[in-house]
Structure 1
Amino acid sequence: MKAVFRSLAVASGVTLTLGLIGASPAPGTPGNLPGLGPAATSLMHGDVESTDSTPLPGPGRGGRLAASSVPGGVCAATFVGSDGYPVSLCTAYLDGSPPQIATPVVTLFHPKTAQVLAKLPLAKGGLLGGVYGYLDDEDRVVVADGTGAILRVGHHRTASGWKLTVDDRTDASRHLGGDGITGLAPDYRGRTWFATTNGVIGTVGTAGRIATTRLPEGEALGNGLTIHRGGASVLTTHALYEMRAGADGVPRTVWRRAYDRGAARKPGQLTWGSGTTPTYFGPGGDSWVAIVDNAPVPKLHVLRAADGSTVCTTRAFAESPQGTENSPMAWGSSLVIPSTYGFQYPPMAVTGDSRPATAPFRGAMTRIDVVNGECKRAWSSHDRMATLPRLSREDGLIHALAYGPYRGGPQQLGPVNYVGVDFATGKRVVSKKVGDAPLDEPMQLTGMIGPGGVLWQGTVGRMLKVGR
């Protein structure tokens, strides 16, 4: 995903840091993390491996708009706690005292009516500082604010109604060099990893100890961190890093793999470089890591997490031009990649000029299977996905908001549909109108499938509850 408002080249190939490859991986099994909230609803990309999949079923064929509200901003990530209450990380259009534009706000919603129950504005830093967060085992949102603090925001019922409060605060500002935290993720040892826009990577231990390292000058980050049992994956505008933190908590590079970042940002992407969040998948659930590069004809790269060697590579989409700002979905040894090429983000959301300046948002999505060491395309479609889709391993559907087929003219106006796409065939099996753009422009925001077959999805104007 991507958060909508987001605040050199070195030698290619793989470089290894001696002494790390043989280190034993962290304990645990995929999905079993200490200190994390409900496994299916506490992370922006579905799990720490960023598979953008869930064991919960979605709305499916009965999908309908069950409720909605107007939160006064764009909600880029939504979590559902063990008590069933949705809580979102939003960017308010106008909030605070005195009023400020683009203020980060933690927002609590009613699980039945979708109405706003409470808000907590945070200190403003970068426009999307702290959008990548998660829910801990006390249903608190772990998020960074503009001061360089990592907060745990809880929601509490009081005599006068619901209230959001900062229950815990870790000041990381002196470790950041004036930079802002843009990514947060828990790991299998109970630590919190963080990353800044300009390449400070750090961990916060269970006792609050902070340890950091810095990536090469000129490499920026526009995506979240991805965690697996063996370490963490960090994708910059130039290269993919596999990192590991020892007993001292200091993140160290296990390997680095440069990729083709192309000549410039593509239309439908936010930065110059890969737009994907790395996805761990494959044997054991996390043996491989996948990204899509920003080459003129984008390629999918599937690498071994242990050493960065290539499992397979192929063109990411069957047709050109295409590209993606969204994370691949993963299930078993398969990946599903949606295209965002030509999607029109607001001017304040993007960094640098794109080449070409604009392009039609024709849409594309493809499934690629890794079979006997080869990347094999299973299907391709022209679906115009308008949110980061979520794959349900329970019902076998890919759930999202989407537009109809491109027919020329205004690209992102008209009906906005809830859709369910068959993972096996790539065909839409359900498409039901839930809104109209521009009021409900989905902005490639990330939704959350919660218990009971409910999809919580933010748009430019509303929070939608799509139910059965």
Structure 2
Amino acid sequence: MRAAASALAVVLTVLGAAPAAADPGLPGVDVGPAGTSLVHGDLASTDSTPFRGPGRRARLAASSIPGGACAATFLGRDGIPVALCTQFLGAGGFAVPTVTLFHPRTAAVLARLPLTKGGLLGGVYGFLDAQDRVVVADGSGAIVRVAHRGGLRSPRLVVDERVSLAGHLPRADAVTGLAPDYQGRVWFVTTGGVVGTVTPAGRKPRIRSVRLRRGEQMGNGLSVRPSGVSVITTHALYEMRAGADGTPRTRWRRSYDRGSARKPGQLTWGSGTTPTYFGPGGDRWVAIVDNADRAPNLIVYRSDDGSVVCRMKAFRRSGQGTENSIPAMGNTLVIPSTYGYQYPPMAESGRANPPAAVFTGGSTRVDVAETGCRRVWENDDRIATLPRLARGDGLVYALGYGPVVPGVPQQFGPVSLIGSDFWTGRRVVTLPIGQAPVDEPMELTGTIGPDGTLWQATVGRMLRISRG
């Protein structure tokens, strides 16, 4: 997904804590602990964590009202949750992107740091670096690193570093996504189709960028493997590498069927999926779902050369479209449907065909081999957050709704934590957590820590869901 539609889309749309991260992350890569430092779980965008989740005896342990919708939440080595939120109303005005720090036990807000307002997704696709700093683009056209200091007694958030991208962003353009690579650079992509890198070089980092084909835009994140970066636009999938000076270069480009218009339940006209690297070695293949009329396709490419491993209908009976990234484990994918999901109208771009549809939900498992793809199961879960796969217990966690009730909008009714078995698709966890519209999930993104706690935001609250 465009990760959880930014909190802006949503509404207008330390020290001193017990160490929480047992996973040391990736040596030599400027990113925090694996599974809790990126919007899509890891650099390959598998939307997974190595830990167990809250499990069958999950309970709502704590919650708070952050005063805004938090589109992405991270956990560093100190175990203190920090989120990228959009404040409904603050000192900087209405719908201001804000870095927010939470207490690791009570979920209470410890500190806030408003950022300069800018593009829609600038407050969503950030990451946590190896020093537990939030790396995100602000509205001034700069990449900032926000650190938290003072422990739990006197916590505060400060901008520790700032790199201006002046000269690399066209007028009215904005950074959509950020991710570190295995060579020490930070890659960025913009709504207007610019792809760039920032390479550390003393006091003045080296910035290089290229613009992709005219008319192509980007609203999703980017995925990274040791030998390349995958970027998807509203027209095509790109596999890229950086040259010796850091300039992004296209290894291959594959256009996909973008259909005749945006589908209801998607934000823009084109694929709604961030590319997912998976398969042998962790990155042999890369998967997307296109936007073909009537029925979108799952397409799996070989990462090295862009040749097609398989192409099949993404869904059988679920809603025919998705704005979500694809969770993966091993050679297996689980594709969630968002077709018909009702975003606030100001979050959407362009007309939809049809203008609206019932949000039926549903997810499907597809196994991939060099000889092709095979559907294994399809369920009816109406999940409404970006799902998180806990590899430790093999469950896919998300917030979602009950069955469709004719005449009752999705924004009114019970909201529950849903946990489904990755291998069978069977629902094994249903924990009521609240009622929409106060706890409308709005496709926000949570994270699961080493102790099994799920930190998940709704429009109105930050939830701490723990093992029973």
TM-score w.r.t. length of structure 1: 0.93
CA 116–200 in structure 1, closer or farther in 2 if over 3 Å, else same? same
1:3 corresponds in structure 2 to: 4
Deviations 1:341-383 (A, max 9, x none): 0110011111111111110011110000013421100100111
8 Å CA contact retained: 1:264, 1:272: yes
Size of the aligned set, in residue pairs, is: 444
Match of 1:53 among 48, 54, 61: 48
2:409 corresponds in structure 1 to: 411
Alpha-carbon deviation of 1:419? 1.3
Query: Distance between the aligned counterparts of 2:406 and 2:58, measured in 1?
Result: 28
DSSP 3-state at the match of 1:182: strand
Query: Distance between the aligned counterparts of 1:91 and 1:373, measured in 2?
Result: 45
AA paired with 1:308?
A: G
Q: Is there any run of 5+ residues in structure 1 with no aligned partner, and where?
A: 8-29
AA paired with 1:3?
A: A
AA paired with 2:99?
A: V
8 Å CA contact retained: 1:91, 1:128: no
2:174 corresponds in structure 1 to: 180
1:62 corresponds in structure 2 to: 57
Q: How does 1:313-352 map to 2 (within 5 A)?
A: 313-319=311-317, 321-352=319-350
Alpha-carbon deviation of 1:173? 2.0
1:293 corresponds in structure 2 to: 290
CA 49–338 in structure 1, closer or farther in 2 if over 3 Å, else same? same
Q: How does 1:108-119 map to 2 (within 5 A)?
A: 108-119=101-112
DSSP 3-state at the match of 1:417: strand
Query: Distance between the aligned counterparts of 1:242 and 1:258, measured in 2?
Result: 12
1:215 corresponds in structure 2 to: 212
2:265 corresponds in structure 1 to: 268
CA 32–304 in structure 1, closer or farther in 2 if over 3 Å, else same? farther
Deviations 1:220-244 (A, max 9, x none): 0010011111110110000000010
Alpha-carbon deviation of 1:140? 0.3
Q: How does 1:67-146 map to 2 (within 5 A)?
A: 67-96=62-91, 99-146=92-139
Query: Distance between the aligned counterparts of 1:57 and 1:108, measured in 2?
Result: 24
1:381 corresponds in structure 2 to: 379
Alpha-carbon deviation of 1:320? 6.2
DSSP 3-state at the match of 1:142: strand
- Is structure 2 residue 190 aligned with structure 1 residue 196? yes
Deviates more, 1:121-130 or 1:426-435: 121-130
8 Å CA contact retained: 2:121, 2:175: no
DSSP 3-state at the match of 1:173: coil
1:462 corresponds in structure 2 to: 461
2:447 corresponds in structure 1 to: 448
AA paired with 2:35?
A: A
AA paired with 2:85?
A: C
Query: Distance between the aligned counterparts of 1:127 and 1:102, measured in 2?
Result: 10
2:369 corresponds in structure 1 to: 371
Deviations 1:5-44 (A, max 9, x none): 478xxxxxxxxxxxxxxxxxxxxxx955522111121111
AA paired with 2:190?
A: T
Query: Distance between the aligned counterparts of 1:130 and 1:209, measured in 2?
Result: 23
Q: How does 1:156-167 map to 2 (within 5 A)?
A: 156-157=149-150, 161-167=154-160
Query: Distance between the aligned counterparts of 1:171 and 1:441, measured in 2?
Result: 36
DSSP 3-state at the match of 1:284: helix
Q: Is there any run of 5+ residues in structure 2 with no aligned partner, and where?
A: 10-24
Alpha-carbon deviation of 1:437? 0.5
Query: Distance between the aligned counterparts of 1:160 and 1:455, measured in 2?
Result: 24
8 Å CA contact retained: 1:368, 1:378: yes
CA 111–421 in structure 1, closer or farther in 2 if over 3 Å, else same? same
Deviations 1:92-126 (A, max 9, x none): 11112xx4111100000000000000000001112
2:15 corresponds in structure 1 to: none
8 Å CA contact retained: 1:148, 1:176: yes
Deviates more, 1:125-134 or 1:69-78: 125-134
Runs of 4+ in structure 1 deviating by more than 6 angstroms, as ranges, are none
Deviations 1:51-76 (A, max 9, x none): 00110111011111111111111100
DSSP 3-state at the match of 2:56: helix
Query: Distance between the aligned counterparts of 1:222 and 1:349, measured in 2?
Result: 12
AA paired with 1:43?
A: L
Alpha-carbon deviation of 1:427? 0.6
RMSD of the TM alignment (CA)?
Answer: 1.4
Query: Distance between the aligned counterparts of 1:160 and 1:284, measured in 2?
Result: 44
1:439 corresponds in structure 2 to: 438
AA paired with 1:381?
A: N
Query: Distance between the aligned counterparts of 1:62 and 1:169, measured in 2?
Result: 43
